[in-house]
Structures are given as structure tokens and as C-alpha cells.
Chains A and B, each alone.
Chain A
């Protein structure tokens, strides 16, 4: 008797908890769902009052956003080039550095590690101002090499720290065995360490690519007509005279689709990266 009563109370409590949590869930997912709905409406349908949930869906906005007069297609290509170059360059530079920090004896290691961590805390506005003047002087404004250089400022410190935490997890015995086989240090890094941290490198790649793809401040100020990443291209549909909501929603969803797919597919790895970063104190996300 008493047991079934407490069971009912527990069920009620559980129901309440689920309801409360679901409400928050809805709040998070709603703007995205609403954007999908708006993106399927015509611009005039968007401005109907009250907002209609039943309507004739159209894919016109998507084809306009991709192939219309203010297409975001070139910007998608630009973002892909910038983000991919940033990611590759960062990994090439960060992996050896992280290995040295995690594993090797090095004079002033502690200090150098702190320096790397500190560079990550610089507010981006403190970099975009001098960079505008510097890149202007050397003619690198609105160039791919300029943009990738600037993107290294946030990707590199983060990548080094994330990779260090993964490399510290590798058992030391593996390296020692390699040394006994007379492998030199570089061979050890290449054949022993790298295969072990493949997972860590994958997480790092995801984080760098995501941050580079979503970056806006540097993109809007140091880019231009040649290098116009997709985050800046969103403003194609926003002007003083009018905002094309449906096309903006369609374009934004197209631009964010790769990130959403990566996010869902690599959800576990991202959370692990966030917590690893949390322990080490890194990360811009």
C-alpha cells in the first residue's frame, strides 16, 4: 500500500521532471525549427498575421539563396578554403609542439606552456585592430593568406592544448619499446604516437574547422569582395530597406548545415573535447 503510493509519487515527480526538462529542450530547438518553417514560406507569407503553420511549402528560397542574384555559393567555397587551410596548417604546427609539451624534456617548458595558454585569452578585438593596419600595409587585406594567418591566432593555441591532453594519456612504455628498437625520435612520433592520438587529432580538427567556419569579426573586417566567408554573406539578405527573412533563413540553414551535421555526428567527441578543454582551461567555443 505504502509502496504503491510512493511509487505513484515517484512517477508524478518523474513526469514533472521530464516536463520541465522538455520545456527547456523546446526552447533550444525552437529557433531552429522556426527558421526551417520560415525558410519554406514565401516572403509575403512570412509577414502574415497571425503566423501560419499550415501553408504551401516552397523551396524557392533555397534555390534563390544558392543560385539567385545574391547567391551564397561563392562564400561557401571561400569558407571551405579558409577553414580547411586553417585546419591543415594548424595541425601540422600543433602536433609536434604538443608532443614536445606532453612528452619531452624542454628548458622553460612550464613558462612556454603558460605563454601558449595566455595567447588564447586575448580578446579578438585586440587583434583585429592592429591586424587591419598591418595587413593593410603589406597588402594582405582581403586575401586568403591574410585570413588564414589571422585564424591561426585562435586555432593554434587551442589545438596545442587540446592535443597535449590527449598525448599525455598515451602510456610511456610504447615509446620506450620503440627506442629499444633503435627508432629515432621522429620515427617514434610518426609511427608510435600519431596512430595513438588519431582520435584526439580528429576532435581537434572538428573544433578548429567549426571555429574557423563560424568566425565573424575577422571575416567581416579583414575580408572583402575576394575573401567573403559565409558568415559575412548572411548580410546579403539584410539591408536598411528590407530584410528578406525567408531567404536569410534558408541561406543561414544551408551555411549551418555542415556544422549541424558535424555537431550531431561528433556529439560525444565534442563534449569530450569541451571537458578536456575545461580541465586545461582552453577553448573558444
Chain B
């Protein structure tokens, strides 16, 4: 029955690949198909082939360009913050001899929370006007009141902070593990050569952990590009469209306005952006290897 290795291997992968084909690839093809059609659940009598209409509309849609801009700001700043804080803290904790376990335990907490719960926590007990604890802290420090989620710029800053709060521990833990795996002799040799702390970091540590850094950037960028639950729970994309990243715009167009054709086109654009960004980042990774 399992006569040859190849046949057996095929038998082993076939169910998995078939399920993936059916559950991911087929819906994606249907998404692409819909993006060339008018699919409106509110006005089904208009449904039909639309050619490039949805894409033409997208090019002329200022809300799309705004969402695209927000996606870039949100992704870039949250990934940069996660990387810098996570790396800084990992380097710091490496120098602390006792109690590293406490950091590892605490860092796992935000990671295991559901993003929607995180969004709701921040929206209510942390950032709410009057009764949120951050508002209270700002007032006793004499920094005045900020309507964190209710005015455009603070709202954007807030959702970036929320995302950074939840996922910096990921960067921290991965980079800490990769730092802990480095052979200590390398640093001893550098110390004997009287290399300063910064020089040691720049010329020894950083090149050695570069693969981990690049992977953190890739993984976190993919997640930030399609962040949904925390923003949905905290601001719902508002006020107005102040925190409406492309992901949320595609969602709202489909499920609030019931315009599935245009929503599909927006989702396709996010898919294309995700592919381009990951392709670019993977290329950077291999380019630095030589």
C-alpha cells in the first residue's frame, strides 16, 4: 500500500494541501472575482460584471488614500517602536543577573491576551475621559486632559500605543532568546580588546542577532498590516476615519455598507501590499546575508 516513498509522501500531504486549497485559495480566487463585480447586498438588483470599475473608483477615492497613509504610519511606527523598545529591554535584561524569569513571565501576559480584550481594556479603564486611569495620571501631573480616543491625532497615537503595548513583548522575548544563545566568548574577547559597550553592540551583537531582528520586523509588519480587533474595539476606526487603516476600511465597506464588490477590491489591494512588503523584507534579509 505504501510501496514507494513518493506515493506515501503524497498520501501524507494530500489532505493538508487539499484543505488549504479549499479553505484559503478558493476563497481568495472568489475575492478576486468579486472585486471585478458589483456585489451589493443592499441593492442586489445592481449586481453584475463591473470590469475595473471598483479599481477605478479606488484610485479616485480619497478615503482609500487616507486609509493607505494611515496603514503606512500605523505599521511603520508600531513596528519600529516594538523593535527599539524590545531590543533595548532585551539588552538591558541580559545584564541583570537575577530575576530574568520575572521578565519572561510578565512579557508573556500581553501576548496571550485576545487583541479585542486589549482594545476594550484600553478604551475603558485606561483611556476613557474622566474615569480612565491615564486621564487621571495626566491630571495629577498637571498635563491637562486629552480626549485620547475622541480626537483624531490622539486617537491614532492611542491605537499605535495599544498595538505597541501588546506586541513589544514578542520582540523582547524573541530577541532575548537570540541574545541568550550567543556564545559569551565573543564578548570576552571584545572586552579584552577594550571595545566600548556601543562598539561591542554595533560590530558584534547586532550582526549576530540580525537574522532574528529581520524576522521580528517581517512577522510584526505582517500582523500590523492586518491589525483589526484592538482598533475595532478601541475606536472602531474613528473618530470619523482618523484610525481607519485599510484593513478596517475594507471591512466596513463590506459589512457596514454591504458593498462587497468594492470591499473585495480594497481587500485585494491590502493583499497586494502585504505581498509586496513581505517580498521586500525577505529580499532585504537575503541581501544582507552575503
Residue B38 at the A interface, CB < 8 A?
no
Closest A residue by C-beta to B34? A130
Residues of A within 8 A of B251 (CB): 125, 128, 217
A38 to B107, CA, bound (A): 22
Q: Scan residues 231-285 of chain A and give those whose CB is less than 8 A from a CB of chain B.
A: 231, 234, 238, 243, 245, 248-249, 252, 255-256, 259-260, 262-264, 267, 270-272, 274-275, 277-279, 281, 283-285
Contact, CB under 8 Å: B117 / A18: no
Of the residues B16, B117, B268, contact of A97 by C-beta under 8 Å = B16
Closest B residue by C-beta to A131? B27
Residues of B within 8 A of A59 (CB): none
A263 to chain B, nearest CB (A): 4
Residues of A within 8 A of B104 (CB): 267, 271
B55 to chain A, nearest CB (A): 15
Interface size on A, residues (CB 8 A): 95
Query: From DSSP, what is the main secondary structure of chain B's interface residues?
Result: helix
Of the residues A24, A32, A96, A156, contact of B20 by C-beta under 8 Å = A156
Chain B, interface size: which category?
35 or more
Residues of A within 8 A of B110 (CB): 28
Residue B60 at the A interface, CB < 8 A?
no
A33 to chain B, nearest CB (A): 10
Contact, CB under 8 Å: B131 / A127: no
Contact, CB under 8 Å: A256 / B117: yes
Contact, CB under 8 Å: A152 / B19: yes
Q: Most chain-A CB neighbours within 10 Å: which of B89, B105, B109, B170?
A: B109
Residue B286 at the A interface, CB < 8 A?
no
A sample of 28 cross-chain residue pairs with beta-carbon separation below 8 angstroms, ordered by A number, consists of A18-B96, A21-B96, A25-B103, A28-B165, A31-B126, A38-B125, A51-B131, A93-B19, A97-B15, A104-B5, A104-B9, A105-B9, A119-B20, A123-B225, A125-B250, A129-B250, A129-B254, A153-B27, A156-B16, A156-B20, A185-B2, A234-B116, A234-B233, A238-B120, A245-B131, A267-B105, A271-B173, A285-B170
